[in-house]
Amino acid sequence: MEGFTPWPAEAAARYRELGYWRGETLGAMLARVARQFPGRTALICGKRHLSYHYLDERADRLAAGFARLGIAPQDRVIVQLPNIAEYFIACFALFRLGAIPVMALPAHRSAEIGFFAETTGATAYVIADRHGGFDYRTLARDVQARSPSLQHVIVVGDAAEFTGLDTLYVEPATLANVDASQVALMQLSGGSTGTPKLIPRTHDDYLYSVIESARICGFDAETVYLAALPVSHNFPLSSPGTLGTLCVGGTIVLARDPAPETAFPLITTHQVTVTALVPALALLWLQAAPQHAPLASLRMLQVGGARLSAEAARKVKPLLGCQLQQVFGMAEGLVNYTRNGDPDDLVIQTQGCPISPDDEVRVVDDNDADVPAGETGHLLTRGPYTIRGYYKAAEHNARAFTADGFYRTGDRVRLTPEGYIVVEGRSKDQINRGGEKIAAEEVENHLLAHPQVRNAALVAMPDDWLGEKSCAFIELAAPSETPALRLALQLKTHLQGRGLAAYKIPDRIEFVDALPLTALGKVSKETLRRQLAQPAHSV
Ligand code: J2J
């Protein structure tokens, strides 16, 4: 596929030889498990219980319907659905067809979806009619008007003028074989650049990470996994997440939202054994636990996506009654887990070790030279499920990867004597807002588009709950009579108007006469972060 960077032939041959890449597609995986466990429950979505046989058959019927509509192998299809059964039916239908779902988040709006459509040339867009008080059909109209490639909008629920997903279940058809070495899906990068980056993952590499994750985490047919985070995110999708549950014949319980009031009753009712959260939500659950009946069935809580404090990590077992597993992963590939049976110290103090014996991990200084053992440096990685390039981003790839194919994660880490990774910080220009990643430059570019803004810098500010929030420092083009509070509101409205996802709107806006500069004349974000730490600025 144009815009996809394959692994070098030698590495690919090795990963096949070692049995990592099995030549099985995600669609074939589901068919195999459905033959083995036809009657077991694959998915619980509200009152609906879907067996493996039913899910498999629905995926086949929808694949035929998608094909009849004109969606072809290799077509990109933006999928933006909440945690509902149709998410899986649609994705597996696309996998079987060899079409490529682009895993949008429910929070994305026209800026992000428009960009995905434009970059991928997507021919279709799958949405729910409404979710969380938002009408996705309005968004679809907006995006479709600007994206000539987008021929079909497919809606779960009331389709209005679009195509109802329900109308697309037809007799299963014979479809062309899908090659497992091809791109299966596109994940989204948290990114640090002006535009989001798309991450092409092949069937071979993704399924390897999913199957190994399921094995490492002890998933089996008795596993009941609560999908509390948005399922399109790489963590709940693949680490081992929902796909890891499906590959062993377990049961997925879909939560519409991750709040304790929603999730706790689901855990009790469906005897959930494992779930995954970002630290901000884990804190919320820890706070709610004492007021709630014990979650007796829950054996393991996975926490990842952002740094979990040791203090919070220590509370998981006493307050939630289950084992903690730390997960440090990235949609680009590399995923690390603390292991079952690891001493408490490792589970509380570290972010685990890689999935694969062939995950190559290097910790380097600013010149790409390895730092002495145990010291902190930049994490570089390459391996059987870490991409060699973002989609259609040649220029950026030259910076984001080393010449020999290591991905520059942008994370600053150190390795313990056991080879476990401790995340100490990051060098990428990104804000990690409770696990939701914000590329500073992307928001700054939108701010710069406002006529009154001369310069803008977005930096992280510490937050007790989310870990980090975002603060925008603004240098105005000319002195303004408008009170700062009103100007700040105008800028937020401006960003909303540009169709930016709500989590990217700055939590705080500060106006400055001039942004501080480094010796090289770049904005010194270091200085801005220090200013935020001073009491005078902590209003
Ligand atoms: C500190 N920072 C972390 C952790 C991710 C599993 C789990 C998470 C993701 C994910 C994922 C962290 N402690 N435990 O895809 O499969 C930060 C790092 C990392 C970035 C990746 C998975 N776990 N991070 O969070 O692509 O900065 O993936 O590089 O969204 O999140 O973000 P993302």
Quick check: 209 and 329 in contact, CB under 8 A? no
210 within ligand 1 shell (Cβ under 6 A): no
**240 found inside a domain:** no
How far, in Å, is the centroid of ligand 1 from the Cα of 204? 21
Query: Which residues are CB-contacts of 463 (< 8 A; sequence separation ≥ 6)?
Result: 469, 507
Indicate if ligand 1 lies below 6 Å from the C-beta of 409. yes
The reply to whether 172 falls in a domain is yes
Q: What is the ipTM of this complex?
A: 1.00
Domain count, the chain: 2
Give the Å distance between the CA of 336 and the centre of ligand 1: 9
Amino acid 408: pLDDT: 98
Evaluate if pTM is beyond 0.90: yes
Q: Evaluate: CB of 351 within 6 angstroms of ligand 1.
A: yes
Looking from the CA of 440 toward its CB, the CA atoms found within 13 Å total: 19
Distance (angstroms) between ligand 1 centre and the Cα of 439 equals 14
CB of 423 within 6 A of ligand 1: the answer is yes
| Tens-place pLDDT, residues 204-260 | 999 999 999 999 999 999 999 999 999 999 999 999 999 999 999 999 999 999 999
Nearest CA to ligand 1 atom 15: 330
Establish whether residue 324 lines the binding site of ligand 1, counting it when its CB lies within 6 angstroms of any ligand atom: no
State the CB neighbour count (10 A cutoff) for residue 168: 21
Nearest CA to ligand 1 atom 3: 306
Query: pLDDT tens for residues 45-91?
Result: 999 999 999 999 999 999 999 999 999 999 999 999 999 999 999 99
Residue 190: band (very low, low, confident or very high) from pLDDT cuts 50, 70, 90: confident
How many angstroms is it from 330 CA to the middle of ligand 1?
A: 5
pLDDT at 534 over 90: no
From 178, 203, 219, give the residue that closes a domain.
178
Q: What is the Å distance from ligand 1's center to 235 Cα?
A: 8
Lowest mean per-residue pLDDT among 60-74, 190-204, 277-291: 190-204
5 part of a folded domain? no
For ligand 1, say whether the CB of 326 is within 6 Å of any of its atoms: yes
Starting at the earlier edge strand, list the strands of the sheet with 360-364. 360-364, 377-382, 407-415, 421-426
Ligand 1 lined by 411 (C-beta under 6 Å): yes
Dihedral sign, Cα of residue 270, residue 274, residue 278, residue 280: positive
Residue 523 and residue 225: Cα distance in Å, rounded? Answer: 45
Nearest Cα residue to 281 out of 302, 311, 252, 251: 302
What is the reported pLDDT for 191? 83
Residue among 237, 330, 411 whose CB has most ligand 1 atoms within 8 A, to mutate: 330
Q: Mean pLDDT throughout 26-55? A: 98
pLDDT at 93 over 60: yes
Ligand 1 center–CA 133 separation, angstroms: 28
Cα 463 to ligand 1 centroid, rounded to whole Å? 18
Report how far residue 247's alpha carbon sits from residue 55's, in angstroms, rounded to the nearest whole number: 13
Cβ–Cβ < 8 Å for 33, 41: no
CATH (domain of 127): 3.40.50.980
> Among the atoms of ligand 1, which is closest to the Cα of residue 238?
16
Place of tokens 């105008």: 490
Q: Percentage of the chain surpassing pLDDT 90?
A: 96
What are the φ and ψ backbone dihedral angles of 287, each rounded to 5 degrees?
A: -70, -35
- Give alpha helix (H) positions in 325-477: 344-349, 394-400, 440-448
249 by DSSP, 3-state: which?
coil
Across the beta sheet with 163-164, the strand order is 163-164, 152-156, 124-128, 76-80, 100-103, 183-188, 198-202
- Give the 3-state secondary structure of residue 369: coil
Report yes or no on 324 lying in a domain. no
CATH number of the domain enclosing 533: 3.30.300.30
234 vs 305: CA distance, rounded Å: 10
On whether the CB atoms of residues 199 and 189 are closer than 8 A, the answer is yes
Residue 327 Cβ inside 6 Å of ligand 1? The answer reads yes
Q: Whose CA is nearest to atom 31 of ligand 1?
A: 305
Q: Is the pLDDT of residue 4 over 70?
A: yes
Give the span between the Cα atoms of 229 and 372, in whole angstroms. Answer: 37
Is the distance from the beta carbon of residue 352 to the nearest atom of ligand 1 less than 6 Å? Answer: no
Q: Is the CB of 328 under 6 A from ligand 1?
A: yes
What is d(CA 257, CA 476) in angstroms, rounded to the nearest whole number? 39
- Region 264-284: mean pLDDT is 98
- pLDDT category of residue 279 using cuts at 50, 70 and 90: very high
Is any atom of ligand 1 closer than 6 Å to the C-beta of 190? yes
Q: Is residue 209 part of a domain?
A: no
Query: How many A from CA of 465 to the centre of ligand 1?
Result: 17
Evaluate if residue 538 carries a pLDDT over 50.
Answer: no
In Å, how far are 111, 231, 431, 528 from 533, measured between CA atoms? Answer: 32, 35, 16, 9
- Residue 516 · residue 527 · CB < 8 Å: yes
Q: What is the mean pLDDT of residues 516-529?
A: 94
Structure tokens at 66: 């998608």
**Is residue 8 assigned to a domain?**
no
pLDDT at 193 over 90: no
Q: Which pair of structure tokens corresponds to residue 385? A: 């499920």
Last residue of a domain, one of 157, 178, 199: 178
C-alpha of residue 166 to centroid of ligand 1, in Å: 35
Q: What is the pLDDT of residue 535?
A: 62
User: Which residue's CA is the nearest one to ligand 1's atom 27?
Assistant: 411
Q: What is the pLDDT of residues 366-384, one digit of tens each?
A: 999 999 999 999 999 999 9
- The residue among 178, 206, 222 that closes a domain is 178
**Among all chains, which residue has been given the structure tokens 């989204």?**
188
* Residue 278 CA to ligand 1 centre (angstroms): 9
Nearest atom of ligand 1 to the alpha carbon of 327: 14
Three-class DSSP labels, 465-500: CCEEEEEEEEEECCCCCCCHHHHHHHHHHHHHHCCC
Residue 452 and residue 460 in contact, taking contact as beta carbons nearer than 8 Å: no
Between the CA of 415 and the centroid of ligand 1 the distance, in Å, is: 17
Whose alpha carbon is nearest atom 21 of ligand 1? 330
Tell me the CA distances in angstroms from 377 to 120, 334, 412, one per residue in order. 34, 17, 5
For ligand 1, whether the C-beta of 433 sits within 6 Å is: no
Q: What is the pLDDT of residue 533?
A: 82
What does 35-95 look like in DSSP terms, one character per residue?
HHSTTSEEEEETTEEEEHHHHHHHHHHHHHHHHHHT--TT-EEEEE--SSHHHHHHHHHHH
**How remote is the CA of residue 352 from the centroid of ligand 1, in Å?**
12
Q: Tell me, using a 6 A CB cutoff, whether residue 437 lines ligand 1.
A: yes
Pocket lining: 306 vs ligand 1, CB cutoff 6 Å = yes
Domain that holds residue 99: 26-178
Q: Band of the pLDDT at 306, cuts 50, 70, 90?
A: very high
pLDDT score of 537 more than 80: no
Q: Tell me, in angstroms, the distance from the centre of ligand 1 to residue 146's CA.
A: 32
pLDDT of residue 202: 98
Contact (Cβ atoms closer than 8 angstroms) between residue 89 and residue 116: no
The dihedrals phi and psi of 369, each to the nearest 5 degrees, come to: -95, 140
Interval between CA 227 and ligand 1 midpoint (Å): 17
Mutation test residue for ligand 1: of 328, 378, 408, 420, the one with most atoms within 8 Å of CB: 328
Radius of gyration of the chain (CA): 23
Ligand 1 centroid to Cα of residue 329, in Å, is 4
Distance 322 CA to ligand 1 centre (A): 22
Spatial contact of 266 and 272, defined as CB atoms under 8 Å apart: yes
First and final C-alpha spacing in the chain: 51
3-state helix, strand, coil split of the chain in percent (to 5) is 35, 25, 40
Say yes or no: CB of residue 331 within 6 Å of ligand 1: yes
Strand-strand pairing, 360-364 and 353-354: unpaired
